[in-house]
Chain A
Amino acid sequence: SQKIEQNSEALNIQEGKTATLTCNYTNYSPAYLQWYRQDPGRGPVFLLLIRENEKEKRKERLKVTFDTTLKQSLFHITASQPADSATYLCALDGGDKIIFGKGTRLHILP
């Protein structure tokens, strides 16, 4: 069955450093991979989408890579700030449905 895993439930990073989150998947061939941010009590907020034929995408301090051979995506936040603390979800979109990982809680320590 299709499976999507995010590397850890929680991650602590010192302010100013780069935070790297991992998303691995099996038994799926997504057309797109998406990353969302979710704050407590709120719905997820769309951050970035990367297509299967793209290797990397950037948006301000965010960078996403997508390796369809390794079946893995990496999500980087450079120059991290305490305001970046949140849960980050990856989602795979195969066109017929979208499945989400359980998320990684990122804590940026001042």
Chain B
Amino acid sequence: KAGVTQTPRYLIKTRGQQVTLSCSPISGHRSVSWYQQTPGQGLQFLFEYFSETQRNKGNFPGRFSGRQFSNSRSEMNVSTLELGDSALYLCASSSASNYGYTFGSGTRLTVV
């Protein structure tokens, strides 16, 4: 059974650009969540999608957005990148909240 796949693994962007990250969940998992991980703040919840609808949202500015497709694949977009957006972005999928989450290996975004 394939795990959660995130692409790309590494990305370098310049300030002001925008970026799109992709996540393919485990087959059959309809819930996809996104997290930002930095050394100082730890894992911060961005948003969760379920059946193409955003179900929950964390405290991030509107520059951070996401969507989910009918096949449960998800993308997140960050516009007008800032240096502080440099982080590991993790995607997690779940069949139900009481079974734990399966994380991908993440996308390491560096903004220069």
Is A43 in contact with B100, judged by CB distance below 8 angstroms?
Answer: no
Contact with B along A88-110 (1 / 0, CB 8 A): 01000101111111110000000
Instruction: Mark each residue of chain A from 69 to 105: 1 if its CB lies under 8 Å from any CB of chain B, else 0.
Output: 0000000000000000000010001011111111100
The yes or no answer to B43 lying at the interface (CB within 8 A) is yes
User: In the complex the two chains form, is A44's CB within 8 Å of B45's CB?
Assistant: no
With CB as the reference atom, state the residue of chain B lying closest to A49: B100
How many chain A residues touch the partner (CB < 8 A)? 23
Residue of A nearest to B35 (CB): A100
Q: Which of B90-112 contact A (CB under 8 A)?
A: 90, 92, 97-106, 108
Instruction: Flag if A34 contacts B90 (CB, 8 Å).
Output: no
A34 touches which of B4, B41, B100, B108 (Cβ 8 Å): B100
A97 B45 Cβ-Cβ under 8 A: yes
B33: chain A residues at CB < 8 Å are 98
Closest Cβ–Cβ distance, residue A45 to chain B (whole Å):
7
CB-CB nearest in chain A for B9: A41
CB neighbors of A among B47-83 (8 A): 48, 56, 58
Also in contact, A49 and B99, with CB within 8 A (given A43-B92, A43-B105, A103-B42): yes
14 A-B contacts (beta carbon < 8 Å) = A31-B97, A43-B4, A44-B103, A46-B103, A49-B99, A93-B98, A97-B48, A98-B97, A98-B101, A99-B45, A100-B35, A100-B45, A102-B41, A103-B42
Query: Can you add 4 more A-B contacts, CB < 8 Å, to A32-B98, A34-B101?
Result: A44-B103, A46-B101, A49-B99, A96-B56
Q: Which residues of A contact B (CB under 8 A)?
A: 31-32, 34, 36, 41-46, 49, 51, 89, 93, 95-103
Would you list the 5 A-B pairs with minimal beta carbon distance, nearest first?
A43-B103, A46-B100, A102-B42, A100-B43, A97-B56
